[in-house]
Amino acid sequence: MTETIREQLEKRESMTLCPGAALAAETRGREHPETEDPHRTAFQRDRDRILHTKAFRRLKRKTQVFLAPAGDHYRTRLTHTLEVSQIARSIARALFLNEDLTEAIALGHDLGHTPFGHAGERVLDRALEGGFRHYEQSLRVVQKLEKRRSGPGLNLTWEVRDGIVNHSRGKAVLYGKPQGAEGPATLEGLVVAVADAIGYISHDIDDALRAEVLRPEDLPRDAVATLGATTSERINTMVVGVIHGSAEGVVGIVPEVRDAMLALRTYLYSTVYPCVAIDTEIKKAERMLETLHAHLLANPLPDILEADPADSLARRTADFVAGMTDEYAMQLYRELILPSPWRG
């Protein structure tokens, strides 16, 4: 019997990938069993399903750092996701890990992000009993909120779901700590977690320089000397640092590169993100979303009322708000909260 293309691809994985890599043929499976595709591996199918979701398309109008930027060159949550995917794939390929699994996790890792970035996440975390975390919402998006003809959810493989929900818990690599049970279960998931850090460290600094909220000379000198003076130099040094710092079965970072990454990350959190120019707008966004969320909870729209009745009204409202783009949130706020001029 002639082998299918999928079977040939699976055989190639088993022959070429490193011993610790996740093999599509050995996936832990899906929640609901499906007939295998003759042309694509299980991880390829997952990547494709994520890429074609409405949640993925909405990322293009969700904040990375600078709220609803008018400039064409600032990152959005979508461009962040694409940059993380490229970085993660480069690392995975060099380490002979499963590139398809890596890409699927990277493309899905931020699907649950709220409008206005972490500002929206804080609003929903305060409002929702049990709290709100974007990585858990990302899993909820692919497991339930996105719909297929066969029913709710994308029915992704266990490995992709694990990588998505644990991408924020894989930072042990960044701190040089043992890779314990709290982070992603696969090496590919760990690569995405590190690539996420490489991505935002690089492009958040680049956007801050573009916005003139910092100057090149403000950056920690030792970190710049180690990683490079430009965005491309820094990304390349960090990627190479991961490749050379990893060994069979372990994802790591060369110590001097890791120290420089941590220095830039600390600088972002202590100086850039809280700066007046950014923080002022973030607080405005939080106040707006708090008001909008409270209004929708008291006066739910049809999309909220028609969602799964098994979920509480608070949960359905949080899902609705989390799925908004920045622009839609502002538009809805104007329509529902602000008075309209009389046009008689």
When computed from its CA atoms, the radius of gyration of the chain, rounded to whole angstroms, is 21
pLDDT tens figures, 88-111: 999 999 999 999 999 999 999 999
Buried b (16+ CB within 10 A) or exposed e, 4-31: eebeebbeebeeebeebbbbbeebeebe
CB 244 within 8 Å of CB 236 = no
pLDDT at 256: 97
Domain ranges of the chain: 45-336
pLDDT at 248: 84
Rounded CA-CA distance 210/205 in Å is 9
Rounded CA-CA distance 21/187 in Å is 7
Largest CA distance in the chain: 76
pLDDT at 183: 86
Give the mean model confidence (pLDDT) for residues 64-73.
Answer: 77
Rounded CA-CA distance 139/319 in Å is 12
C-alpha dist (Å) from residue 95 to 128, 190, 218: 41, 12, 35
pLDDT tens figures, 257-312: 999 999 999 999 999 998 988 889 999 999 999 999 999 999 999 999 999 999 99
Give the mean model confidence (pLDDT) for residues 43-58.
Answer: 98
pLDDT at 344: 66
C-alpha dist (Å) from residue 27 to 11, 88, 186, 219, 316: 14, 20, 11, 44, 32
pLDDT tier at 69, thresholds 50, 70, 90: low
- DSSP classification of residue 168: G
pLDDT tens figures, 104-130: 999 999 999 999 999 999 999 999 999
- Cα torsion through 305, 306, 307, 309, rounded to 10: 80
Q: Residue 151 pLDDT more than 90?
A: no
Percent of the chain with pLDDT over 70: 97
CA atoms within 13 A on the CB side of 245: 22
The two structure tokens encoding residue 73: 């060159």
CB 23 within 8 Å of CB 14 = yes
The architecture that CATH gives domain 45-336 is Orthogonal Bundle (1.10)
pLDDT tier at 174, thresholds 50, 70, 90: confident
pLDDT at 33: 94
Contacts of 27 (CB under 8 A, 6+ apart): 42, 43, 157, 158, 159
The two structure tokens encoding residue 217: 């000379």
